[in-house]
Copies of this chain bind each other. A is one copy, B any other.
Amino acid sequence: MLMQTAVQANTSRQDTASRRQRPVSLHPLFGSLELIGARMSFTRNAEIYGDDEPADYVYKIISGAVRVCKLLDDGRRQIAAFHLPGEIFGLEIGKEHRFTAEAIVDSVILVIKRSSVVALAARDGDVARQLWAHTANDLQGVQDHMLLLGCMSAKERVAAFLLQMAKRISDTNEVELPMPRQDIADYLGLTIETVSRTMTQLETDATIGLPTSRRVVLRNRAVLGRLNA
């Protein structure tokens, strides 16, 4: 259940006054969600919701980062997506979540009752369309990810990942990755050693720079991009 988990993980909840001062998001549908959601804090590695739990809430990241993943019985893990501030996750059409969501770093997350969003959609066709659009957008993301997992070499996967993160996090040539190597590995369908070696290799190529293990400088986007095609 969300509340059990969240309450355990929650270390502080902003009061209503501080919420009101926040600028409203520009996101078409979910801008108004700030008004009906509650902020919650999750510490690093805290579970936000679990696989098979009721999907009674929708989440929007205020700050931090989240991984959405599935853990198989034998310990193998696939990370389906990373989410960053401003993004919405956990919206399902079915009754239950199909994946687990965890905070990658300490995160503040807006938690909205799903029923209130769905009720809004029932009255307003625009909102209904935006729910559809949101799911369609998720679909597109997973489809792109599928191409990566099905077609690409380790080097291509890492390159595609770095380009994607640079675009999403800073849209510059320098990124601070919020997630550890193991998360990157589980996202890309590789082992942590292969991710590490590939990064080193890209650095040796002078395709990227690695001031620290988490900080990446894209030195040659042409090469990184060509690795995709």
Q: Which residue of B lies closest to A138 (CB)?
A: B139
Give chain B residues whose Cβ lies under 8 Å from the Cβ of A92: 136
A interface: dominant SS:
helix
In chain B, what residue has the closest Cβ to A79? B150
Q: Does A23 contact B (CB under 8 A)?
A: no
Q: Which of A173-218 contact B (CB under 8 A)?
A: 186, 188-189
Are A146 and B78 CB-contacts (below 8 A) given A125-B125, A138-B139, A139-B139? yes
- CB pair B229 A72 closer than 8 Å: yes
Confirm or deny: A169 has a beta carbon within 8 angstroms of a beta carbon on chain B.
no
Does A74 belong to the interface (CB within 8 Å)? yes
One of A9-17, A26-34, A108-116, A127-135 contacting the partner: A127-135
A62-100 vs B, CB cutoff 8 Å, 1 = contact: the mask equals 000000001011101110100000000000111000110
- Given the known A-B contacts A136-B92, A151-B72, are A143 and B98 also in contact in the complex, defined by CB atoms under 8 Å? yes
Q: Give residues in A with beta carbon < 8 Å to B.
A: 70, 72-74, 76-78, 80, 92-94, 98-99, 121-122, 125, 128-129, 131-133, 135-136, 138-140, 142-143, 145-147, 149-151, 186, 188-189, 229
Closest 9 pairs between A and B when the two form their complex, measured CB to CB: A150-B189, A149-B149, A93-B136, A132-B132, A78-B150, A139-B139, A128-B128, A142-B142, A76-B151
